[in-house]
Structure 1
Amino acid sequence: MPWAAGLGASAGAIALYSGLAWQRRADLREAGRAWHAAVAPGPDGSGPHDAAAGGSSVLAALNPNREVVPYSPLHGAHLREVVRWCGETGRGPVWRVAGPAGAGKTRLLIEAARLLEQEGWTCGWVRRGRAADAVAASGLRPGGVLLIVDDADTLPDHGDLAAMLTDAVRGEYPRLRIVLGGRDFGGWWRDLRAGLDPVVHAAVTPSGPTRLTGLNGTPADRQQLFASAVRRYAAFLDRPVPSTILTGQHAGVTFAELHAGAAAAAERGLTGAFDLSTALDHLFAIEETWWASNAADAGITHPPAVLHAAVTVATLLGASDCEQTARRLACLPGLTTTPSDRLTELALWLRQLYTQRSGAWLNPHLPARLAEHYAARCAVRQPGLPAALATAAMTA
Structure 2
Amino acid sequence: MANFVSPPIAAGLGGGASALALYGETWWQRRQERAHADTAWESAVLAGPAAIAGSRFAAHAGSVLYALNPDQRVVPFSPLRRPDLLSIVDWCLGPSEKRLWQVTGGAGSGKTRLLIEAVQQLAGKNFECGWVRHGQAATAAEAAITRPGRVLLVIDDVDASPRQQDDLTGMLSTLARAPAGQVKVVLSGREFASWWARVRAAMDPADQAVLAPAGRTTLTRALASPADQLQQFQGAARRYARHFDRPVPAAALTGTTTAISVAELHAAAAITAYNGLTGPVDLTTALHQLFTTEETWWLTNAAEQQPAIRLPLPVVQGAITAATLVGADSMDQAVRRLAHLPGLTISSHERRTELALWLHQLYAQRGGQWLDLHLPAYLADRYAALIVTAQPGLPAALAAAALTT
Report the TM-score, using the length of structure 2 for normalisation: 0.92
Change (3 A) 1:43 1:269: same
- 2:256 aligned partner, one-letter code: Q
Task: Give 2:382's aligned residue.
Answer: 373
28, 35, 40: which one aligns with 1:34: 40
350, 354, 357: which one aligns with 2:363: 354
Q: After superposition, where does 1:82-231 map in structure 2 within 5 Å? A: 82-157=88-163, 158-215=165-222, 217-231=224-238
Aligned length: 394
Query: Mind listing any 5+ residue stretches in structure 2 that lack a counterpart?
Result: 1-5
- Give yes or no for contact 1:244–1:271 (8 Å, CA) kept in 2: yes
Task: Give 1:384's aligned residue.
Answer: 393
**Superposition RMSD on alpha carbons, in Å?**
1.9
CA–CA distance in structure 1, aligned partners of residues 386 and 399 of structure 2 = 16
- 1:182 aligned partner, one-letter code: G
**3-state SS in 2 of match to 1:145:** strand
CA–CA distance in structure 1, aligned partners of residues 190 and 261 of structure 2 = 13
- Give yes or no for contact 2:97–2:180 (8 Å, CA) kept in 1: no
Q: After superposition, where does 1:23-102 map in structure 2 within 5 Å? A: 23-45=29-51, 54-102=60-108
1:55 positional shift:
5.0
1:301 positional shift:
1.3
CA deviation string 1:82-107 (max 9, x = no partner): 01111222442001000001111111
Q: After superposition, where does 1:176-325 map in structure 2 within 5 Å? A: 176-215=183-222, 217-297=224-304, 298-299=306-307, 300-325=309-334
Change (3 A) 1:334 1:291: same
CA deviation string 1:318-344 (max 9, x = no partner): 112223222322222222222222222
More moved, 139-148 vs 10-19: 10-19
- Give yes or no for contact 2:99–2:214 (8 Å, CA) kept in 1: no
CA–CA distance in structure 2, aligned partners of residues 45 and 132 of structure 1 = 19
- Give yes or no for contact 1:54–1:355 (8 Å, CA) kept in 2: no
More moved, 335-344 vs 148-157: 335-344
- 2:249 aligned partner, one-letter code: P
1:53 positional shift:
6.6
**3-state SS in 1 of match to 2:342:** coil
CA–CA distance in structure 2, aligned partners of residues 54 and 96 of structure 1 = 33
CA–CA distance in structure 2, aligned partners of residues 393 and 34 of structure 1 = 30
- 1:271 aligned partner, one-letter code: T
CA–CA distance in structure 2, aligned partners of residues 55 and 321 of structure 1 = 27
Change (3 A) 1:62 1:37: same
CA–CA distance in structure 2, aligned partners of residues 7 and 393 of structure 1 = 70
CA–CA distance in structure 1, aligned partners of residues 371 and 160 of structure 2 = 15
- 1:355 aligned partner, one-letter code: A
CA–CA distance in structure 1, aligned partners of residues 257 and 87 of structure 2 = 28
CA deviation string 1:159-193 (max 9, x = no partner): 22011111111233532111000000011111111
- 1:16 aligned partner, one-letter code: L
CA–CA distance in structure 2, aligned partners of residues 186 and 52 of structure 1 = 42
Query: Mind listing any 5+ residue stretches in structure 1 that lack a counterpart?
Result: none
CA–CA distance in structure 2, aligned partners of residues 54 and 46 of structure 1 = 12
CA–CA distance in structure 2, aligned partners of residues 228 and 80 of structure 1 = 24
CA deviation string 1:330-386 (max 9, x = no partner): 222222222222222222221121111233221111111111110111112222222
**3-state SS in 2 of match to 1:223:** helix
More moved, 294-303 vs 13-22: 13-22
Change (3 A) 1:144 1:276: same
Change (3 A) 1:250 1:144: farther
Change (3 A) 1:339 1:122: same
Change (3 A) 1:174 1:46: farther
1:244 positional shift:
1.2
1:216 positional shift:
5.1
Change (3 A) 1:250 1:149: farther
| Pair member with larger Rg | 2
Report the TM-score, using the length of structure 1 for normalisation: 0.94
1:270 positional shift:
0.4
**3-state SS in 2 of match to 1:153:** coil
**3-state SS in 2 of match to 1:273:** strand
Task: Give 2:12's aligned residue.
Answer: 6
**3-state SS in 2 of match to 1:179:** strand
**3-state SS in 1 of match to 2:71:** helix
- 1:303 aligned partner, one-letter code: P
- Give yes or no for contact 1:214–1:251 (8 Å, CA) kept in 2: no
- Give yes or no for contact 2:340–2:400 (8 Å, CA) kept in 1: yes
- Give yes or no for contact 2:255–2:282 (8 Å, CA) kept in 1: yes
Identity %: 51
**3-state SS in 2 of match to 1:395:** coil
